[in-house]
């Protein structure tokens, strides 16, 4: 069955370190998204991509970057982790054929920055 | 700009009670899409329903029903005869023709169903 996976599921790192969170989908979806979930803020969009080599900033992109070298993967990099980036991170994908396509989410990565 | 408001941050009910989760949205798009997702205690986000702005028919799926009213910009979710397994955080989300494929999420409503 097609799916979307994230790794690692849990990560503890130190302030200032570079961290990369992986997202892999096997639906062959064009669109991929990264969100962070924090108490009181719901889900906020970090970055998104509508296809290979396409990346765009979302609402809370400062301190994060993404690159899309193939259809299946959209890794999220924290260039220099900060305690404010402690959060649960979700990756999602959608087919991209029409606006308002349903997004399907990965299981999430819980990141703690000490 | 699009906005989704879920005014109820937490709701607590006793099993078998009916419960309605409110969702109010704002958009300038004439064509838009509304979603509900469920986040159980295990943490994953589960898609429940997608409706487009041209389809105002209410939808029922088992114990779940959705009431879409354009006149009040609302897309409310009702669980009939709630069960403990319904305990979760529920998110309402909005997408629009002018938003590409992006969704705007509400802050979520935590539902606790007590036995």
For A21-63, the pLDDT digits (tens) are 999 999 999 999 999 999 877 899 999 999 999 999 998 999 9
Burial degree of B28 (CB within 10 A; 0-12, 13-18, 19+): exposed
Distance of CA A38 to the CA centre of its chain: 14
Q: Which residues have a Cβ under 8 Å from the Cβ of A106 and sit 6 or more positions away?
A: A4, A5, A6, A23, A25, A90, A91, A92
Residue of A nearest to B48 (CA): A102
Cβ count within 10 A of residue A14: 11
Test the A interface: residue of B33, B101, B106, B107 with most A CBs within 10 Å: B101
**Count of residues for chain B?**
115
Burial degree of B75 (CB within 10 A; 0-12, 13-18, 19+): buried
Say whether B101 and A108 touch across the interface (CB within 8 A): no
Contacts of A44 in chain B (CB under 8 A): 105
- CA–CA distance, A68 with A74 (Å, rounded to integer): 5
Say whether A100 and B43 touch across the interface (CB within 8 A): no
Say whether B31 and A31 touch across the interface (CB within 8 A): no
The three-class DSSP label of residue A25 is strand
Per-residue pLDDT of chain B (115 residues; tens, 9 = 90+): 789 999 999 999 999 999 999 999 999 988 899 999 999 999 999 999 999 898 888 888 899 999 999 999 999 999 999 999 999 999 999 998 766 678 899 999 999 999 9
Residue of A nearest to B100 (CA): A99
Strands A10-13 and A109-113, by their bridges, are: parallel
Contacts of A41 in chain B (CB under 8 A): 107
Say whether B44 and A105 touch across the interface (CB within 8 A): yes
For residue range A56-107, list pLDDT tens digits in order.
999 899 999 999 999 999 999 999 999 999 999 999 999 866 677 889 999 9
Say whether B101 and A31 touch across the interface (CB within 8 A): yes
Q: Does B75 touch chain A (CB under 8 A)?
A: no
State whether the Cα torsion A57-A60-A65-A70 is positive or negative: negative
Cβ count within 10 A of residue B43: 14
Q: Does B23 touch chain A (CB under 8 A)?
A: no
């Amino acid at each position: 069955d097609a799916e979307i996976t994230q790794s690692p599921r849990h990560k503890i790192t130190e302030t200032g370190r570079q961290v990369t969170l992986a997202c892999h989908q096997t639906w062959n979806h064009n669109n991929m998204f990264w969100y962070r979930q924090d108490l009181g803020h719901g889900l906020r969009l970090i970055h998104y991509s509508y296809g290979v080599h396409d990346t765009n900033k979302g609402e809370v992109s400062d301190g994060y970057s993404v690159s899309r070298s193939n259809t299946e993967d959209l890794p999220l990099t924290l260039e220099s982790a900060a305690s404010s980036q402690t959060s649960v991170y979700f990756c999602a994908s959608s087919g991209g054929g029409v606006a308002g396509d349903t997004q399907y989410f990965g299981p999430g990565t819980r990141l703690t920055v000490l | 700009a699009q906005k989704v408001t879920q005014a109820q941050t937490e709701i607590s009910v006793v099993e078998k009670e009916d419960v309605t989760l409110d969702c109010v949205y704002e958009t300038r798009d004439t064509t838009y899409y509304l979603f509900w997702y469920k986040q159980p205690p295990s943490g994953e986000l589960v898609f429940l329903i997608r409706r487009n702005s041209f389809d105002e028919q209410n939808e029922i799926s088992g114990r779940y029903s959705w009431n879409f009213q354009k006149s009040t910009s609302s897309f409310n979710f009702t669980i009939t005869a709630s069960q403990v397994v319904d305990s979760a955080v529920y998110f309402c989300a909005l997408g629009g023709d002018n938003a590409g494929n992006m969704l705007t999420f509400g802050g979520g409503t935590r539902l606790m169903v007590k036995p």
